[in-house]
Amino acid sequence: MKNEQRPIGIFDSGIGGLTVANAIRKVLPHESFIYFGDTAHLPYGDKSPESIRGYALRITRFLLERRCKAIVIACNTASAHAYKEVVRLCGSEVPVINVIDPVARHTAERFDHGQVGVIGTKGTIQSRVYVQRIERLNPRLKVISNATPLLAPMIEEGFFNNQISRTIIRNYLERPNFKKIRAIILGCTHYPLIAREIREITGVDVDIIDSARVVAGEVKTVLSARHLLNPSASAPSYRFYVSDKTAAFEKSTRIFFREQIKLEKSRIWERG
């Protein structure tokens, strides 16, 4: 297979990263990809940075063995803790795109000054990676972050657009330190699914930064710069692996990818 026809490798702690895969297929309709959801270790948001690095490296090896031409870390928590290690493993031939840097650049350029909010898992927020990256790029911006650990499991269970989800989201977003924000970054791959509910609470004056779209644009830019875009207009192929497969995961994929997909169980943890 020619270099440019190889698939893109995309991974996440679970199936939330399918929002990123979905955005990528919209922007790059001729690209094939292999998706890996580490459902056996979900959620990453509560795991130690060392554990997350170990998982991310093993999954990256799995994707490199399948000759992926680029790796997308479609998980904020893994991007926060394992990006450098994944880049080192991939070497100079295989570019790695994380979900934090493109969004940090986009935010720093789009807003001149003021306060920007970030919500994400405990792991992402405790790493302070959004705060450091954005404030370094634009010192006139102040980044306020709040961990919102109930949101990812709630969405994964298909629990949104109802009274209870609204109460939980409202509780998180109405924290006093978010009072003056002019934009909010959805710092978790699950959150695009509750963007509408967030909008209802924050109102139209607060911009919602949907990382899936920004990251998909970055994947296109990187592949193009490396001459890795697939020139052929043939139908792409998609494969979806998970490390633990349940009927509930398979059912939830429809919510994230906008169509029913077939999950394949991979035994990478069993082989060590």
Q: Which CB atom, from 73 or from 173, has the smaller least distance to ligand DGL?
A: 73
Q: Rule CB under 6 A: is residue 9 a binding residue for ligand DGL?
A: no
Answer whether 25's CB lies under 8 Å from 236's CB. yes
Q: Which CB atom, from 13 or from 252, has the smaller least distance to ligand DGL?
A: 13
Q: Taking each helix axis from N to C terminus, what angle separates 101-110 and 211-225, rounded to the nearest 10 degrees? A: 110
Q: Tell me how far apart the alpha carbons of residues 80 and 174 are, in angstroms, rounded to a whole number.
A: 25
Per-residue contact string for residues 195-234; x = within reach of ligand DGL by CB under 6 A: ----------------------------------------
Per-residue contact string for residues 140-169; x = within reach of ligand DGL by CB under 6 A: ------------x-----------------
Kindly indicate which of the ranges 25-33, 83-91, 178-186, 188-196 contains the residues binding ligand DGL, using the contact rule CB under 6 A.
188-196
Burial 257-267 (b: 16+ CB within 10 A, else e): beeebebeebe
Q: Rule CB under 6 A: is residue 121 a binding residue for ligand DGL?
A: yes
The least CB distance from residue 151 to ligand DGL, in Å, is 9
DSSP 179-208: TTEEEEEE-STTGGGGHHHHHHHH-TTSEE
Residue 68 annotated in active site: no
Could you say which of 36, 44, 62, 240 contacts ligand DGL (CB under 6 A)? 44
DSSP state of 177: G
